[in-house]
Amino acid sequence: MKHRPERASALIIEELGKIILKEVEIPDTLVTITGVEVTKDLSQATVKISVYPSEKTAETMKMLGKRQGYFQHLLFEKINIKPMPRILFKADAGPEQAARVEKSLMENE
């Protein structure tokens, strides 16, 4: 049972990615799930979201937050996890930070 959170995380990434692709429409914006952290008791899943361009992050996170219950309902219909973890969306600035570091390294060469 110790691998259950990891399996739940993989299922959530796969199915929620499909749901977001179909349900979220923000023009000229790419929304990507960069990871999911599920608690050991499966009570909560923190979904890390990367948004490109980063200027649309606040708008995208606001929209995801408003539709969080709807996404949770759709996810519950797709995968059979008991208990279904409560989904929380969190902006992931990792890819953006990596791009800034790479750009500054290129400038210093």
pLDDT at 101: 67
pLDDT at 61: 93
pLDDT at 97: 65
Give CA separation, 41 vs 8, 60, 77, 97, in Å: 11, 29, 20, 32
Computed over every residue of the chain, the mean pLDDT equals: 86
pLDDT at 98: 64
- Contact between 94 and 50 under an 8 Å Cβ cutoff? The reply is yes
Stretch 23-38: mean pLDDT: 89
Q: Which residue has the higher pLDDT, 17 or 93?
A: 17
Q: Which domains does the chain have, with CATH numbers?
A: 4-108 (3.30.300.20)
Q: What percent of the chain has pLDDT over 90?
A: 47
